[in-house]
């Protein structure tokens, strides 16, 4: 008997939508609609649920629904739309809320500031046709179009779109480009954490502890580039705090070991950043004369990460829930 393709639900969190404009949201959702239409027609997957969850009030939901349907009218044709609110929810809390609405065999996560490429959806779904596979992670890269965004792409935790396979092979699961078997995810939601981007690392650890691992696939998606130097400083500081949180959760709470980890992390990230700038700046279109400035900016980022991580280890900073400040621009 021929095995049927699994049904699936796509969860789109709109927490990031607060920091991008309406046109960019339209581009992201239009690309997603095309992928769903292509998978339904070519791969013969059933019409999915598309679950859009925001962090505002419940009373904001009808207005969001109207806005999305006007912006990307084809969404309602290719998918069964579900809208919900996770009032005051942070990034992973919004994702968990969306997963609670899902009824498909597979739950796919993407973000409102992520633009999927052709073949993305089928690449994520194909491995989960095998009942022994539980999780799949795609390949997200940072879009870039000027000096600042090219520098961000080189120092960011996403690999570059091309020629960065070694780095990509070491990346943790991408929370904005992944899929899980719903039965497993229902018992393993994104863990609670005060961190900004910590829960995906903790969930990956849970996955491996339960005897599974995620499958890496060439499901590509671009992330809108961060904008502004205020974002640069804030993101470096929160990255340092998150690095300490991950070490405490997965390795040790010893202050001495945390301080040593911060120091080793500074050396390793500074060296990696220097190599990446030299090796990959040309493929991003960065002129030779900008390379020294990219190195300076990148090393400054690594140093801010170190200072913040060390401050957390020393107890100089409270471990409080991270929120995206309104002033930072793109997240």
Give tens-digit pLDDT for 34-71. 999 999 988 789 999 999 999 988 998 998 898 899 99
Highest mean pLDDT among 9-18, 31-40, 219-228, 319-328: 31-40
Segment 67-95, tens digit of pLDDT: 899 999 999 999 999 999 999 999 999 99
CB atoms within 10 A of CB 325: 12
CATH of 8-223, one of 3.90.550.10, 3.65.10.10, 3.10.129.10, 3.40.50.12780: 3.90.550.10
Mean pLDDT of 314-328: 89
Domain boundaries, the chain: 8-223, 229-328
pLDDT at 1: 36
> Whole-angstrom Cα distance, residue 118 to residue 139?
13
CB atoms within 10 A of CB 116: 25
Segment 189-211, tens digit of pLDDT: 999 999 999 999 999 999 999 99
- Report helix, strand or coil for 280: helix
Q: Is the pLDDT of residue 163 over 80?
A: no
This prediction has a pTM of 0.93
Instruction: Give residue 106's pLDDT band: very low, low, confident or very high (50, 70, 90).
Output: very high
Per-position DSSP letters for 30-53, written without gaps between them: HHHHHHHHHHHHHS-PPP-EEEEE
Q: By CB neighbour count within 10 A (0-12 exposed, 13-18 middle, 19+ buried), where does 317 fall? A: middle
Percent of the chain with pLDDT over 90: 76
pLDDT at 317: 94
Q: Which residue has the tokens 């020294």?
A: 292
């Amino acid at each position: 008997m021929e095995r049927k393709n699994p049904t699936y639900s796509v969860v789109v969190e709109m927490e990031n939508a607060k920091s991008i404009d309406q046109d960019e949201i339209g581009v992201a959702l239009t690309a997603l609609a095309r992928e769903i239409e292509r998978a339904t027609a070519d791969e013969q997957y059933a019409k999915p649920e598309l679950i859009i969850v925001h962090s505002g009030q419940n009373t904001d939901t009808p207005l969001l629904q109207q806005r999305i349907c006007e912006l990307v009218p084809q969404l309602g044709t290719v998918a069964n739309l579900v809208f919900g609110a996770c009032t005051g929810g942070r990034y992973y809390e919004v994702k968990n809320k969306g997963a609670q609405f899902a009824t498909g065999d597979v739950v796919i996560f993407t973000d409102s500031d992520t633009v999927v490429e052709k073949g993305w959806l089928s690449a994520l779904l194909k491995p989960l046709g095998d009942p022994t596979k539980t999780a799949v992670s795609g390949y997200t890269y940072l879009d870039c179009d000027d000096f600042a965004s090219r520098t961000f792409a080189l120092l960011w935790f996403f690999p570059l779109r091309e020629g960065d396979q070694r780095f990509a092979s070491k990346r943790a699961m991408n929370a904005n480009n992944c899929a899980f078997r719903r039965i497993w995810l229902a018992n393993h939601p994104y863990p609670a954490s005060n961190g900004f981007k910590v829960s995906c690392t903790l969930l990956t650890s849970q996955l491996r502890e339960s005897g599974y691992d995620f499958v890496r696939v060439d499901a590509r998606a671009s992330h809108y580039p961060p904008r502004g130097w205020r974002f640069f400083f804030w993101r470096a500081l929160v990255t340092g705090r998150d690095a300490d949180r991950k070490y405490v959760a997965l390795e040790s709470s010893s202050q001495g070991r945390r301080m040593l980890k911060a120091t080793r992390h500074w050396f390793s990230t500074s060296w990696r950043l220097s190599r990446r700038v030299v090796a990959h700046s040309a493929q991003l279109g960065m002129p030779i004369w900008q390379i020294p400035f990219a190195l300076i900016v990148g090393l400054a980022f690594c140093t801010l990460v170190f200072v913040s991580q060390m401050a957390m280890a020393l107890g100089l900073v409270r471990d409080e829930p991270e929120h995206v400040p309104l002033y930072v621009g793109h997240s």
